[in-house]
Amino acid sequence: MSVGNAYKREYALGLDKQDGLASFRQEFYVKEGSIYLDGNSLGLLSKRAEQTLFSLLDSWKNYGIDGWTQGEHPWFYLSENLGKTLAPLVGGSPEEVIVTGSTTVNLHQLVSTFYKPEGKRTKILADELNFPSDIYALKSQLALKGYDPSEHLIEVSSSDGHTLNEDDIIQEMKEDIALIVLPSVLYRSGQILDMKRLTAEAHKRNIFIGFDLCHSVGSIPHQLSEWDVDFAFWCNYKHLNGGPGGVGGLFVNQKHFGRHPGLAGWFSSRKDKQFDMDHTLTPAEDAGAFQMGTPHVLSLAPLIGSLSIFKEAGMENIRAKSLKLTQYLMDLIEHELSEYGLTIQNPKEDHRRGGHIYLEHPEAARICKALKEEKIIPDFRTPNGIRLAPVALYNTFEEVWESVQILKRIMKEERYKQFKNEREVVA
């Protein structure tokens, strides 16, 4: 097709016909007449996830207490088995990954385990663009150790308010840093940090380093073991479609197996020792040691079905389509919306761009409300950000084209002015 035709619906339909992942859209409950572009906040429900949720409800109904050891998915081993299934998505060995807790709970666990201030090394290095809850957790961990967070939490600055420079991060890896916690993909701008490089630089200075994978897991490939990352943690309800409030996950490098969990609990135990009921913990000999409480079985259940889709689709294929979708979205925005003051603030290079596009406009809250009125589901981020995430497993190129046309009408006709320019309770 000619370049001019690239901006017509027929071109998008042609891309959809060539899409090797197109059949997976049928696996999801996609609301007719609506275009869902918020999968980076909460992924859609798949029919397989629904089925496995019902399956575990049935195991409760049919087995009662024996569901812990009987049935297709015995609950006692469910976190470990899901960890094995999820491990390829983060580039870890099966023993290095466990599905447990939540993002913040797992961060507390890992910081409690790896943050061991001693001598001059008392500070934690993070960044000023990180998701707020990570910063809340880091500050509270410092306070629990008796340190003033205003002095002992170092937040690397951003020169543009949207992205981070890895050189700036490395420059802050000084002799007083005991631990580094960074996002793999910045939640706002979608920038991918060079985890391999940052890990190597941290280890040159004998500093532990871990990453928050919430906005990258299920969206981009990882090689955590190969990169020698010390630990990582994430939620499973965004790109992995594990369900609202679903159980999170964590990775601990096998070189740290045997390290006592900072926050020990009932499920930290080695499986064969757990019901000895001894008051001295015998920790699991793998990432299972970093569990705490009893698994939330019904919140784990949807992930069984969801991860089977990822195994079939293949992470490399998902990433390839995601890049095409976001590139197409950016091309259309630049062609159709250049006169309306919408600015693309995410990195444009493939190797630096995650699974969503980040636009800025002074009327962003209003624009998001206008989009929702037109049944386009975006994500607003205060003060003036619009996140759009076309997801490879269930969004189409035609949907991307249609969304831009609707956004153009909203801007051209100033439809957004009927709404207040302020966020809702949940943005």
| Helix boundaries (H) for 64-176 | 78-90, 103-114, 132-144, 149-152, 166-171
11 known member of a binding site = no
- Is residue 293 within 8 A of residue 261, CB to CB? The reply is no
Region of 101 please: left (phi>0), alpha (psi -120 to 50) or beta.
left
Please check if 266 is assigned to a binding site.
yes
- Using DSSP's 3-state secondary structure scheme, residue 279 falls into coil
Cα dihedral 353/356/361/366 (nearest 10):
-170
Side chain identity at residue 65, one-letter code: I
User: Residue 278 and residue 262: Cα distance in Å, rounded?
Assistant: 19
Q: Which two tokens stand for residue 206?
A: 């004998």
Say if residue 100 carries a ligand binding annotation.
no
Annotated binding-site residue? 102: no
**Residue type for position 168:** D
133 is an annotated ligand-binding site residue: yes
Q: Is 294 annotated as a binding residue?
A: yes
- Alpha-carbon distance of 374 to 34, in angstroms, equals 8
Q: What are phi and psi of 38, to 5 degrees?
A: -125, 30
Tell me if 215 is assigned to a ligand binding site: yes
DSSP letter at 160? S
**Helix, coil or strand: residue 190:** coil
Closest CA to 410 of 425, 424, 378: 378
Query: How far apart (Å, rounded) are the C-alpha atoms in residues 382 and 10?
Result: 35
Cα(398)–Cα(405) distance, integer angstroms: 11
Q: Any binding-site annotation on 212?
A: yes
Closest CA to 366 of 400, 404, 415: 415
> What tokens were used for 202?
């941290």
Question: 104 among the known binding-site residues?
Answer: yes
Is 103 annotated to bind a ligand? Reply is yes
| 54 assigned binding-site residue | no
Cite the annotated binding site by residue number: 103-104, 131-134, 212, 215, 237, 266, 294
Cite the annotated binding site for pyridoxal 5'-phosphate by residue number: 103-104, 131-134, 212, 215, 237, 266, 294
